[in-house]
Amino acid sequence: MESMSVIFEGFMIVCFGVSWPAAIWKTTRTKTVRGMSPVFLWFVFAGYLSGILFKVSEATVRGTMSPVIALYVLNTLMVGVEMALYYRYREKRAARV
């Protein structure tokens, strides 16, 4: 039964993560952050970090690391890239106003 929970958790993280490459591509292409919320990005980033910490703490108890942690790390990195793009291009947004 535990393997099914790992599969479902992995599928959930993949579904959440599918949108980040598209968002990064759009931000890079348009060089605009209009409509983007830094608060939202920080909450998502914190959520993924929390997932990583949970998986690490779970591994210390069980003695084995879940492969799902790789998906949490990947998503955290993508959100981090999107946050970096936000802070890079926000000045351009302010300059236009």
Q: Which is more confidently placed, 96 or 13?
A: 13
Q: What is the pTM of this model?
A: 0.86
Distance CA 48, CA 82 (A): 14
Name the domain count of the chain.
1
Q: Which amino acid is at 66?
A: S
Rounded Cα distance, 70 and 13, in Å: 10
pLDDT in tens, 47-76: 999 999 999 999 999 999 999 999 999 999
Per-residue pLDDT of 78-97, as tens digits, reads: 999 999 999 999 976 555 55
Which structural domain range is residue 91 located in?
Answer: 2-28+35-96
